[in-house]
């Protein structure tokens, strides 16, 4: 199995882990501060209990059901043996008990995403992605999505979303109390704590910024793990570059001359991801790129499921 210098990979993954822990901890601390401002020490306990209950009783949706909502349908191994062979090989390298199920999204948009958990996961790939990328680039993209499943990133981001929603609720309650108490404070000459006022008002925005930063950190980590699985940083970098050239950024160029600010993105800027991947590539000390499983070195076979290109319909769906 081809791998990078383990010291380089460990350093990158450790940094990403620390960043993720700090961001999640910061979001939890922010919710705790709001609870303390509203109810004192008991408020912190109630906020923690509410978050724990939300996590424990949050509905667990099957990835099959989630993906069907996007218009995707499952591809069976007979329809895409090459893709299943490739995905199974990468999943085995990642130590997953079983390979994720594979779904096809009938859209020309270049996209791939994961759903579910490491023990019950699925990966969806779009028609546009399968047509635009070669086998080496697809291997990098699949490894990136497998990395998300192995790290249970969907659960991590769900937890962050729950904490963020709790922060918004506590902030709303605090704002309502301020509206009620402010006239009384002004009338009786009480001093208004400006710092507490600012925390209550801006806490949801800070929580959203932390949640987006956490999402970007998990993307960086998935890139590093993907490279560990394939030993081919350049393959994933080429895929990201192709995605950026074909479709990336056109909405920003059309509607936002300066682009979307980095802190408002769920994904890191593509050029930064490519730069980091190529830096890993230079650390490979001449190792060969990902060795494709036997039978795939000639590329993907024609897939019956994408015999015709999907077309956009008036109802917003692709067929």
pLDDT at 304 over 70: no
At residue 69, the pLDDT reads 75
At residue 180, the pLDDT reads 80
10 Å CB burial of residue 274 (0-12, 13-18, 19+) is buried
Q: Which residues contact 253 (CB under 8 A, 6 or more apart)?
A: 259
Instruction: Supply 91's token pair.
Output: 């999943």
Q: How far apart are CA 85 and CA 142, in angstroms?
A: 12
Q: How far apart are CA 283 and CA 240, in angstroms?
A: 19
Helix H, strand E, coil C: the string for the chain is CCCCCHHHHHHHHHHHHHHHHHHHHHHHHHHHHHHHHHHCHHHHHHHHHHHHHHHHHCCCCCHHHHHHHCCCEECCCCCCHHHHHHHHHHHHHHCCCCCCEEEEECCCCCCEEEEEECCEEEEEEEHHHHHHCCHHHHHHHHHHHHHHHHCCHHHHHHHHHHHHHHHHHHHHHHHHHHHHHHHHHHHHCCCCCHHHHHHHHHHHHHHHHHHHHHHHHHHHHHHHHHHHHHCCHHHHHHHHHHHHHHCCCHHHHHHCCCCCCHHHCCCCCHHHHHHHHHHHHHCCCCCCCCCCCCCCCCCCCCCHHHCCCCCECCCCCEC
Contact 105, 127 (CB under 8 A): yes
Select from 153, 163, 173 the least CA-distant residue to 267.
153
The rounded percent of the chain whose pLDDT value lies above 90 is 24
At residue 15, the pLDDT reads 77
- The single residue of 137, 145, 219, 228 carrying the catalytic annotation is 145
Instruction: Compare 12 and 83 and report the one with higher pLDDT.
Output: 83
Order of strands, edge to edge, in the sheet holding 101-105? 73-74, 101-105, 120-126, 112-117
Q: What is the pLDDT of residues 168-183, one digit of tens each?
A: 998 998 888 888 877 7
Q: What is the pLDDT of residues 200-223, one digit of tens each?
A: 889 999 999 999 999 999 999 999
Cβ atoms within 10 Å, residue 25: 11
pLDDT at 143 over 90: yes
Instruction: Supply 223's token pair.
Output: 């890139």
Beta bridge partners of 101: 122
Q: How far apart are CA 304 and CA 80, in angstroms?
A: 8
Please indicate whether residue 145 is annotated as part of the active site. Answer: yes
Average of per-residue pLDDT across 281-305: 54
At residue 5, the pLDDT reads 52
- Claim: this prediction has a pTM higher than 0.75: yes
Q: How far apart are CA 36 and CA 201, in angstroms?
A: 15
Instruction: Compare 252 and 201 and report the one with higher pLDDT.
Output: 201
pLDDT at 289 over 60: no
10 Å CB burial of residue 314 (0-12, 13-18, 19+) is exposed
Average of per-residue pLDDT across 189-210: 83
Q: What are phi and psi of 60, to 5 degrees?
A: -105, 105
pLDDT-based confidence at residue 291 (cuts at 50, 70, 90):
low
């Amino acid at each position: 199995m081809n791998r990078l210098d383990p010291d380089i990979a460990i350093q990158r993954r450790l940094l990403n882990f620390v960043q993720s822990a700090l961001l999640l901890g910061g979001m939890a601390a922010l919710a705790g501060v709001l609870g303390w401002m509203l109810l004192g020490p008991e408020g912190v306990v109630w906020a923690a209990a509410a978050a724990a209950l939300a996590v424990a009783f949050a509905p667990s949706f099957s990835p099959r059901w989630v993906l069907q909502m996007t218009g995707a349908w499952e591809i069976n191994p007979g329809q895409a043996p090459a893709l299943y062979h490739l995905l199974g090989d990468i999943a085995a390298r990642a130590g997953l008990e079983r390979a994720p199920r594979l779904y096809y999204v009938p859209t020309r948009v270049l996209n791939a995403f994961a759903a579910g958990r490491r023990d019950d996961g699925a990966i969806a790939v779009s028609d546009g992605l399968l047509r635009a990328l070669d086998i080496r680039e697809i291997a990098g993209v699949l490894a990136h999505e497998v990395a998300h499943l192995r790290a249970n990133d969907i659960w991590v981001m769900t937890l962050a979303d729950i904490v963020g929603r709790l922060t918004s609720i506590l902030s709303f309650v605090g704002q309502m109390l301020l509206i009620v108490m402010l006239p009384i404070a002004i009338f009786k000459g009480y001093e208004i704590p400006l710092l507490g006022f600012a925390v209550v008002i801006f806490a949801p925005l800070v929580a959203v910024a932390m949640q987006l930063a956490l999402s970007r950190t998990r993307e960086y980590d998935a890139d590093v793990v993907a490279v560990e699985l394939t030993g081919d940083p350049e393959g994933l970098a080429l895929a990201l570059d192709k995605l950026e050239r074909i479709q990336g950024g056109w909405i920003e160029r059309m509607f936002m001359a300066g682009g979307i600010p980095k802190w408002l993105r769920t994904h890191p800027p593509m050029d930064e991801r490519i730069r980091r991947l190529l830096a890993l590539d230079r650390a490979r000390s001449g190792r060969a790129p990902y060795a494709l499983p036997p039978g795939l070195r000639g590329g993907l076979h024609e897939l019956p499921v994408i015999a015709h290109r999907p077309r956009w319909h008036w109802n917003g769906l692709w067929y």
